[in-house]
């Protein structure tokens, strides 16, 4: 009997220490937060410019992959954008996530979807590129979401 009681107490302690998953409403709230920040990020890119938006929404430890180059840290991202030549004429970038998921702990999320990048070249022709993006988001200490991978 003592063995059963000890085992029961031990199992109660083990199960009480397990963290339960958040309820579906909380998960959906977190996903909506990330959808909203993606919308705001894309809107800022269209209104204030691509460079400003990427610098603003980058976490301090963010990493950008451009071509075959990794740009690590918000300061390096800022330097990368400042060192590039001026933006092409009528440069535009827009995107919308097709998928959003958030970790059970609510501190990491990822999105993917389609983007469109366009500009006017030196001959006056509009050039348009379409592709797929993937972004990893991290909740910051102040509760905001910033990207850590793009």
**On the CB side of 123, how many CA atoms lie within 13 Å of its CA?**
3
Whole-structure pTM value: 0.83
Please indicate whether residue 3 or residue 146 has the higher confidence score (pLDDT): 146
* pLDDT surpassing 50 at residue 149: yes
pLDDT at 98 over 50: yes
Each as own residue / partner, the long-range contacts of residues 19-24 (CB below 8 Å, 24 or more positions apart, any chain) are 21/104, 22/104, 22/106
Per the model's pLDDT, the better-predicted residue between 2 and 26 turns out to be: 26
* Predicted pLDDT at 141: 97
pLDDT number for residue 26? 96
DSSP letter assigned to residue 144: -
Are the beta carbons of 115 and 94 closer than 8 angstroms? Answer: yes
CB 98 within 8 A of CB 114: yes
Average pLDDT over residues 108-135: 96
Res 95: pLDDT:
97
Give Cα 46 to chain centroid, integer Å.
Answer: 17
**Domains, the chain, ordered by start:** 22-149 (3.10.450.50)
Instruction: Please give the pLDDT value at position 63.
Output: 98
Cα 99 from Cα 79, distance rounded (Å):
31
How much of the chain exceeds pLDDT 70, in percent? 86
β-strand 145-149 against 58-66: which pairing, if any? parallel
Contact assessment for residue 96 and residue 69, using Cβ atoms and an 8 Å cutoff = no
Residue 100 has pLDDT above 70, yes or no: yes
pLDDT digits (tens, 9 = 90+) for 1-21: 555 445 455 445 444 445 567
Instruction: Report the run of H or E that residue 24 belongs to, with start and end.
Output: helix 24-47
pLDDT (tens digit per residue) in 58-94: 999 999 998 899 999 999 999 998 887 677 889 999 9
């Amino acid at each position: 009997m003592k063995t059963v009681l000890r085992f029961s107490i031990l199992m109660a302690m083990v199960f009480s220490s397990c963290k339960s998953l958040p309820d579906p409403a909380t998960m959906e709230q977190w996903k909506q937060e990330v959808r909203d920040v993606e919308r705001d990020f894309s809107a800022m890119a269209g209104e204030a410019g691509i460079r400003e938006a990427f610098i603003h929404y980058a976490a301090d430890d963010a990493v950008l992959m451009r071509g075959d180059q990794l740009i690590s840290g918000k300061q390096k991202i800022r330097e990368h954008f400042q060192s590039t030549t001026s933006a092409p004429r009528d440069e535009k970038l827009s995107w919308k996530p097709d998928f959003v998921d958030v970790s059970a702990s609510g501190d990491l999320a990822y999105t993917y979807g389609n983007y469109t990048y366009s500009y006017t070249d030196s001959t006056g022709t509009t050039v348009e590129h379409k592709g797929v993006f993937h972004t990893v988001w991290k909740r910051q200490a102040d509760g905001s979401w910033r990207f850590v991978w793009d």
